[in-house]
């Protein structure tokens, strides 16, 4: 078992002000989060801003103690055996912590020393970690001369020195351009496959989550859904029809009683999960055509999984 989290809860003690707004007294940032990671898979912690991803991340990296519940990483209790947990994990925070004035090799050497690695063993581990992230030719470059994507890879290489079993990355693609984002996920997948490392990365990008083996979907501090991406979408069944209408509320109440339909109205859009979208579109055009400005249909996506589980649109 790589992670076992049971009923994790956390509420920040102080009220917060967003911009010039009023003081907000906090709701729980995490509220009864339970999940397990049994195998070394590529896992996305998916959720919009404020859903609790970073708080869960801080707990799993032993920076924050849960106020309720408990968790283990690789069999070690996060609170009782924090040091042992830290030996099992590699962590990449949102903010880069590389020393920009040093070379990649110097950064890795300092980090290796902190893990008690020295001499030939350290040189060997640095070479291996650099190879894993295709950074061998950059080892003697100053960090400040590297692109954002290369820096992120250097940071990941640094976390690999002590051969962790679980890699935890907080929004690793934030600030990267689309090509660097794609490359980053290619390397994360490669590490998971070739090194057998479990990778848990938080993201608010649906396309990144869709390529993972398993999703933990967060909403307002709770785990709204979890599962592999395709089955999560397939479990919704059928298709989704979005109907733009200036009488959306009325149209919603016409459709809601129909068996097998899951109907929600958001602003001027009626959203219907139904077993047969073409039939619904045909029938509605005939019966309520004058109420309807536009109709679209699609197979269920992760955005629909999120909506189904939370009743909210996914707003990253
Ligand atoms: P995410 O990473 O998904 O954006 P967070 O875990 O950062 O979510 O935030 C979850 C909730 O906790 C939000 O309501 C946020 O405002 C609140 N929060 C996060 N950090 C702090 C903090 N240091 N002090 C007070 N409230 C916080």
pLDDT at 233: 96
Beta bridge partners of 30: 10
For the 3-228 domain, the top CATH level (class) is alpha beta
Ligand 1 in reach of 54 Cβ (< 6 A): yes
The domain spans of the chain are 3-228, 237-299
Nearest residue (by CA) to ligand 1, atom 5, is 52
Helices (H), the chain: 53-60, 82-88, 104-114, 119-132, 148-160, 178-195, 206-210, 229-236, 248-255, 277-288, 302-310
Ligand 1 in reach of 16 Cβ (< 6 A): yes
State how beta strands 3-10 and 68-73 pair: antiparallel
Nearest residue to 157 (alpha-carbon basis) of 175, 137, 176: 137
The CATH code of domain 237-299 reads 3.30.70
How many angstroms does the Cα of residue 55 sit away from the middle of ligand 1? 6
Asked if 54 and 170 count as a contact pair (C-beta separation under 8 A), the reply is yes
Question: Mind listing the pLDDT tens digit of every residue in the chain (316 residues)?
Answer: 999 999 999 999 877 777 788 777 778 999 999 999 999 999 999 999 999 999 999 999 999 999 999 999 999 999 999 999 999 999 999 899 999 999 999 999 999 999 999 999 999 999 999 999 999 999 999 999 999 999 999 999 999 999 999 999 999 999 999 999 999 999 999 999 999 999 999 999 999 999 999 999 999 999 999 999 999 999 998 899 999 999 999 999 999 998 889 999 999 999 999 999 999 999 999 999 999 999 999 999 999 999 999 999 998 8
> Same CATH topology for 3-228 and 237-299?
no
pTM here is: 0.93
What sign does the CA torsion over 73, 78, 84, 88 have?
Answer: positive
pLDDT at 17: 78
pLDDT at 315: 86
Q: How wide is the angle at C-alpha 230 spanned by C-alphas 227 and 236, nearest 5°?
A: 85
Ligand 1 probe mutation, 12, 14, 17, 223, most atoms within 8 A of CB: 12
């Amino acid at each position: 078992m790589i992670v076992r989290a049971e009923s994790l809860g956390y509420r920040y003690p102080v009220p917060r002000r967003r911009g010039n707004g009023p003081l907000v007294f906090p709701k729980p940032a995490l509220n009864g989060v339970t999940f397990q990671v049994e195998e070394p898979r590529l896992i996305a912690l998916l959720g919009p801003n404020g859903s609790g991803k970073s708080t869960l991340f801080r707990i799993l990296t032993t920076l924050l103690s849960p106020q309720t519940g408990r968790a283990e990483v690789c069999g070690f209790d996060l609170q009782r055996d924090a040091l042992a947990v830290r030996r099992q994990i590699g962590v990449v925070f949102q903010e880069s912590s590389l020393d920009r004035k040093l070379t990649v090799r110097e950064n890795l050497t300092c980090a290796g020393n902190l893990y008690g690695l020295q001499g030939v063993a350290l040189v060997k581990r640095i070479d291996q970690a650099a190879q894993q992230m295709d950074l061998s030719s950059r080892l003697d470059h100053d960090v400040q001369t590297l692109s954002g994507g290369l820096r992120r890879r250097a940071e990941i290489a640094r976390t690999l020195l002590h051969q962790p079993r679980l890699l935890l990355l907080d929004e690793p693609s934030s600030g990267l351009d689309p090509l660097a984002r794609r490359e980053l996920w290619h390397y994360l997948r490669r590490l998971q496959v070739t090194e057998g490392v479990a990778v848990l990365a938080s993201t608010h990008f649906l396309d990144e989550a869709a390529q993972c083996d398993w999703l933990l979907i967060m909403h307002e501090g709770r785990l709204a859904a979890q599962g592999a991406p395709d089955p999560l979408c397939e479990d919704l069944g059928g298709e989704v029809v979005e109907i733009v209408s200036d009488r959306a509320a009325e149209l919603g109440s016409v459709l809601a009683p129909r068996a097998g339909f899951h109907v929600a109205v958001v602003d001027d859009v009626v959203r219907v999960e139904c077993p047969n979208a073409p039939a619904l579109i045909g029938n509605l055009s005939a019966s309520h055509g004058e109420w309807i400005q536009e109709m679209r249909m699609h197979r269920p996506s992760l955005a629909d999984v999120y909506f189904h589980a939370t009743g909210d649109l996914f707003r990253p």
